[in-house]
Chain A
């Protein structure tokens, strides 16, 4: 079953990549943002499975984005792949440091502490005049191994880069979920005492999860910064974290690919709601969230599992 899931996931990415040139530009850029967000959501899923919710993932998202923008501005680094990796590394290092603290907390305390940490970064950025304060600043146009596309071609290149990073990340996270360290998520959520007495430090399990989610958040932020072409402190604001949690609820923590589908659906709903009923778009999103919690408590991903279960029952 594991092999089949990977194959279906890989095909989904291929289809999305091939469809790119035939889609209108606005859809490509919407999908790029959606898939960049999906990386952050993937990080939230890693935590979610161990019973942890972070209301501060925007911290890593913002660090990834600012790392990209600053490297381009200060060092003149424009290679998109190097920039995205840099964003992931900076956020990962931050998560490794903060993780030592965060790993001691659970439940609402974990959620609130991560929120507080992200708001500290927001506060610092707002006060930093040299970084454009609340306005932020623009990100230099990236290049790809020396090739520097513009407009449509740039959008498409970033879309493909995002898909490639997304596919690799999704593959690695799937492998992680099947590893011993990854399989400890439910045990940690269920019974920490037992995990400790089996000889594993629960805090280390969680520290590792915080690091993985931090790296994913940074990659997402880096890709978003390149795609939007601008960074500002709002990327660290709690409402940004909130929308990632929203997408995680919509997608569900059951499957890796649901993060990408859920994220795309979220962007589509948000854009449509904004277009059709500009005054009530937040209400529309709220209604979607409510309906998800009421009728799909395990998110979009559970539709697939439900279908599979029905299939199993039919063919004994």
Chain B
């Protein structure tokens, strides 16, 4: 099967600063890929280039057989690559249902402005899709709550749900558990990952907690100094001596499995 995402020789420089270099990765459909690395290692630059937020200096990105290098982010979103954010991005003055309806209406509605004026936002199809996604992410109890009043974990789930309701094929999660207490992290990731499995969505997620990476990823990419230094199953990558020395620090610390305390 041909990969859903292919990245070849990707490089991004800001003046003399090299933020990413020599990144070549192929992601098969429905794989769950964890992305690890210290701050400044190039993880977010990598994600931002795939979503079209940054234009690569060199190299190319393919979504299935279509080259998307340098395409504007709105176009990439419409092709089926969606993302969530480190800090949940929702519409605070709207209810959970309305948040989801807006996301569903944009994704499922017409792509041109005449169509967007002529189509009602409250169509049955939009509402059904929104309700189904709310149930899938197990936030039905908050359906009519205003988003600004939501607990952090629910807001995160809503943020990811809004990215999923448009039926993307590839989802990029930027630190899905950041800002979530250690006790809630696993519960949240269980909900997210089973939802994404149900929808058969390929996932790339940036994560600092190695326990979470080990549990949920099929494959782990380790970033260091702008490039990928290890790529394999969680055991392979996390067991790699260079990764242990440079990223997880397990060789230096005795009892912690990772540097999961990052906020």
On chain A, the residues within 8 Å of B89 by CB distance are 191, 193-194, 197
B109 contacts partner chain A, Cβ-Cβ < 8 Å: yes
Known: A182-B121, A197-B83. Is A187-B113 also a contact (CB below 8 A)? Answer: no
Provide 22 A-B residue pairs closer than 8 Å at the C-beta atoms, listed in order of the A residue. A179-B116, A179-B119, A179-B120, A180-B117, A180-B121, A183-B105, A184-B106, A186-B91, A189-B93, A190-B93, A190-B94, A191-B91, A194-B91, A196-B74, A197-B51, A197-B89, A198-B102, A198-B106, A199-B74, A199-B77, A199-B107, A204-B113
On chain B, the residues within 8 Å of A195 by CB distance are 106
- Main SS at interface, chain A: helix
B17 contacts partner chain A, Cβ-Cβ < 8 Å: no
- Complex Cα spacing A191 to B94, Å: 11
On chain A, the residues within 8 Å of B162 by CB distance are 194, 198
A201 contacts partner chain B, Cβ-Cβ < 8 Å: yes
A199→B94 contact, CB < 8 A: no
A180→B109 contact, CB < 8 A: yes
- Complex Cα spacing A210 to B83, Å: 30
When the two chains form the complex, which single residue of A179, A183, A208 contacts B102, counting CB atoms closer than 8 Å?
A183
On chain A, the residues within 8 Å of B110 by CB distance are 180
A191→B122 contact, CB < 8 A: no
Q: Chain A nearest CB: distance from B68 CB in Å?
A: 14
B238 contacts partner chain A, Cβ-Cβ < 8 Å: no
- Complex Cα spacing A196 to B232, Å: 34
B118 contacts partner chain A, Cβ-Cβ < 8 Å: yes
When the two chains form the complex, which single residue of B51, B74, B163 contacts A200, counting CB atoms closer than 8 Å?
B74
Q: Chain B nearest CB: distance from A207 CB in Å?
A: 9
List of 4 A-B pairs having minimum Cβ-Cβ separation, nearest first: A183-B121, A199-B77, A190-B91, A181-B116
Q: Chain B nearest CB: distance from A216 CB in Å?
A: 15
A187→B91 contact, CB < 8 A: yes
B93→A180 contact, CB < 8 A: no
Using CB atoms and an 8 Å cutoff, list the residues of chain B in contact with chain A: 51, 73-74, 77-78, 82-83, 85, 89-94, 101-103, 105-107, 109-110, 113, 116-122, 162-163, 166
A176 contacts partner chain B, Cβ-Cβ < 8 Å: yes
When the two chains form the complex, which single residue of A181, A186, A208 contacts B94, counting CB atoms closer than 8 Å?
A186
B117→A179 contact, CB < 8 A: yes
- Complex Cα spacing A190 to B106, Å: 16
Task: Give the number of chain A interface residues (Cβ < 8 Å).
Answer: 24
On chain A, the residues within 8 Å of B101 by CB distance are 183
On chain B, the residues within 8 Å of A196 by CB distance are 73-74
- Complex Cα spacing A197 to B85, Å: 10
Most buried by A among B83, B102, B119: B102
Most buried by A among B92, B93, B116: B116
On chain A, the residues within 8 Å of B73 by CB distance are 196-197
Known: A178-B122, A180-B105, A199-B106. Is A190-B113 also a contact (CB below 8 A)? Answer: no
A208→B92 contact, CB < 8 A: no
A179 closest partner in B (C-beta):
B117
A200 closest partner in B (C-beta):
B106
- Complex Cα spacing A198 to B75, Å: 10
- Complex Cα spacing A194 to B89, Å: 6
B77→A181 contact, CB < 8 A: no
When the two chains form the complex, which single residue of B90, B106, B117 contacts A191, counting CB atoms closer than 8 Å?
B90
- Complex Cα spacing A186 to B105, Å: 14
A158-194 CB contacts (< 8 Å) to partner B: 176, 178-184, 186-187, 189-191, 193-194
On chain B, the residues within 8 Å of A198 by CB distance are 77, 102-103, 106-107, 162, 166
The 8 A CB mask of A212-244 against B (1 = contact, 0 = none) is 000000000000000000000000000000000
- Complex Cα spacing A196 to B120, Å: 20
- Complex Cα spacing A182 to B102, Å: 11
When the two chains form the complex, which single residue of B51, B91, B113 contacts A181, counting CB atoms closer than 8 Å?
B113
Q: Chain B nearest CB: distance from A38 CB in Å?
A: 22
Known A-B contacts: A190-B94, A199-B74, A199-B77. Give 6 more (CB < 8 A): A178-B120, A180-B105, A180-B109, A187-B91, A194-B162, A199-B107
Most buried by B among A180, A190, A194: A180
When the two chains form the complex, which single residue of B90, B94, B106 contacts A180, counting CB atoms closer than 8 Å?
B106
- Complex Cα spacing A189 to B92, Å: 10
On chain B, the residues within 8 Å of A187 by CB distance are 91, 94, 102
A176 closest partner in B (C-beta):
B117
Q: Chain B nearest CB: distance from A189 CB in Å?
A: 7
- Complex Cα spacing A153 to B1, Å: 78
B102 closest partner in A (C-beta):
A187
- Complex Cα spacing A208 to B117, Å: 10
Q: Chain A nearest CB: distance from B86 CB in Å?
A: 12
B123 closest partner in A (C-beta):
A180
On chain B, the residues within 8 Å of A193 by CB distance are 85, 89
Known: A194-B89, A194-B91. Is A178-B77 also a contact (CB below 8 A)? Answer: no
- Complex Cα spacing A183 to B105, Å: 10
On chain B, the residues within 8 Å of A191 by CB distance are 89-92
On chain B, the residues within 8 Å of A199 by CB distance are 74, 77-78, 106-107, 166
